[in-house]
Amino acid sequence: MRSDLMKKGLERAPHRSLFKAMGYTDEEIARPMIGVVNSANEIIPGHIHLDIIAGDVKAGIRMAGGTPVEFPVIGVCDGIAMGHDGMKFSLASRELIADSIEIMAMAHPFDALVFIPNCDKIIPGMLMAALRLNIPAIFVSGGPMLAGTLDGKSVDLITVFQAVGQVKSKRMTLKELRALEDCACPGCGSCSGMYTANSMNCVTEALGLGLPGNGTILAVQAARRRLAKDTGMKIMELLKKKIRPRDIATLNAFKNAIAVDMALGCSTNTVLHIPAIAHEAGIKLDINIFNEISAKTPNICKLSPAGPHHIEDLDAAGGIQAVMKEISKRGVVYLKALTVSGKRVGDNIKGARVLNREVIRSLERPYTAEGGIAILRGNLAPDGAVVKQSAVSPEMMVNEGRARVFDSEDDAIKAILGGRIKSGDIVVIRYEGPKGGPGMREMLAPTSAIVGMGLDKSVALLTDGRFSGGTQGAAIGHISPEAAEGGPIGLVKEGDIIAIDIPKKKITLKISAAETAKRRKAFKPRPPAIKSGYLMRYASLVTSASTGAIFKEG
């Protein structure tokens, strides 16, 4: 066993003594030692209950003959960090999470690991660590939050973000906002729509690293606790069979994950995280693969913010396994891919059924023939840009308008809420990329303000930053190269005409080659504003959004 390095033999008597100082018995020390990576904290609603999930995981490990050893991991709540400098640290935390887990698992050689994430960057950070370490591993999330209810209608966190714009535009009162605020997030769990957290938990299940149900069983259901116990027991089986993460997360498994991503209409953040996770497995995923798989995979679910349904509806309709079974009819699912259940994908989905055809539509009646995400290119984004096309109104799929240029999210929000953005404008927010931010802030506040002001069917937003999975409308992010790296988005001037053609996957700054050359000659990218601390180091190491914002190597 790997853990013998720290516990077996004459020379390890001092090590065993330290274990005994913590109350471990000889029998516990002799058993396989399973690291339980717990991201519980008291600042993220999706993580407030993870100590309960960890307790159930540990019970499962003990039932199957192992010794659980729990250690913590940091986490940022994107919702609470939103709209201020705290958001600069969210994406940047992903690398710290992966690195800190590597440190713990190498300094203390566990035999296997169980990962307990639930939200945003914690999930991809843990997935990156699992594939980097490549010792037996399995994931169980804390589960999604219930949607709230107000006046007989489902509401959620995004409803509250959009309500801010409604109050500013006199379409909602402060009293109505308070009533909404009190009920939109009714309890623990990852926020209830197909935002980044739930997108990544569903992707983890589709990738094969979480048991069936990982992405959709609700945080408040007893089934979530049973799943945690099953996960604890299953890791012992994976250890015995010597099944490692890279045996599961193959190229075909990543293709499965992307196909499910497209069918569900997941967060555009998956385009950042999936290539970064694949990189740790030694697999190079060009972002063009998203368009290739999208072309073959219909969008069959419209979950908030793209539609009226929430994760609880998806779970009741059959969950991720039912989605995979449906799209497998199109030949986009690799049925022989191995999963942590010990079974192949084809075996897992054999008994799956779609129980609600409004939540999970058939291939014959999809919402759109293509998947939920599109990669755009053009002279404004030579290395690509990303849009959640399933959340774009039909009238905004092809659009041309006047650029309104801002060098920060904060300035753009002031202009939107101040009524300075008009129908037909294209808001351009730059210097918010991985390096320029630094940290690539998620921009739910400006997109929600546009929706709240009633402009989502007439105003587009472009940025070298990124968007929340809760974003809707013509919001195009990850424009690469970013302004801080000398990208063309840095050349845009107020009043320039920009053309967007999502069906043709194009985004064009309509200026002449001569004018482009003139501006390029005069252009000096603005250096990152932060000159100290972790973000300074992050800015010096991070690569483009088009490569998953991974760190430079060597």
Whether the per-residue pLDDT at 554 is higher than 80: the answer is no
pLDDT in tens, 37-51: 999 999 999 999 999
- Nearest Cα neighbor of 412 from 470, 373, 465 is 465
Lowest mean pLDDT among 288-302, 340-354, 483-497, 524-538: 524-538
Across the range 405-430, mean pLDDT stands at 94
Across the range 88-113, mean pLDDT stands at 97
Whether the per-residue pLDDT at 88 is higher than 90: the answer is yes
Whether the per-residue pLDDT at 467 is higher than 90: the answer is no
Residue 298, C-beta contacts closer than 8 angstroms, at least 6 positions apart: 263, 327, 330, 363, 366, 367, 368, 369, 370, 371
Across the range 393-405, mean pLDDT stands at 95
Better-predicted residue by pLDDT, 446 or 75:
75
Give pLDDT, residue 445. Answer: 83
> Residue 494: which pLDDT band, with cuts at 50, 70 and 90?
very high
Token pair for residue 253?
């498994």
Determine if the peptide bond prior to 438 is cis (ω within 30°).
yes
Across the range 144-171, mean pLDDT stands at 93
> Residue 501: which pLDDT band, with cuts at 50, 70 and 90?
very high
Across the range 241-259, mean pLDDT stands at 98
Is 468 an annotated catalytic residue? yes
Query: pTM score, two decimals?
Result: 0.95
Give pLDDT, residue 456. Answer: 87
Whether the per-residue pLDDT at 251 is higher than 80: the answer is yes
Whether the per-residue pLDDT at 448 is higher than 80: the answer is yes
Give pLDDT, residue 451. Answer: 85
Whether the per-residue pLDDT at 470 is higher than 80: the answer is no
Whether the per-residue pLDDT at 83 is higher than 90: the answer is no
The rounded distance, in Å, linking the Cα atoms of 468 and 197 is 10
Sheet of 33-38: strands edge to edge?
67-72, 33-38, 112-116, 137-139
Which is catalytic among the residues 468, 480, 544, 546?
468
DSSP secondary structure letter of residue 242 = T
The rounded distance, in Å, linking the Cα atoms of 7 and 155 is 52
Give pLDDT, residue 471. Answer: 75
The rounded distance, in Å, linking the Cα atoms of 97 and 235 is 21
Give pLDDT, residue 531. Answer: 83
Which amino acid does the sequence have at 213?
G
Give pLDDT, residue 259. Answer: 98
Give pLDDT, residue 316. Answer: 98
The rounded distance, in Å, linking the Cα atoms of 496 and 403 is 5
Across the range 369-390, mean pLDDT stands at 95
> Residue 196: which pLDDT band, with cuts at 50, 70 and 90?
very high
Please state, rounded to an integer, the average pLDDT across all residues of the chain: 96
Give pLDDT, residue 169. Answer: 85
The rounded distance, in Å, linking the Cα atoms of 437 and 425 is 24
pLDDT in tens, 2-53: 999 999 999 999 999 999 999 999 999 999 999 999 999 999 999 999 999 9
Token pair for residue 331?
């030949």
Across the range 382-397, mean pLDDT stands at 94
Contact 309, 319 (CB under 8 A): no
Give pLDDT, residue 454. Answer: 87
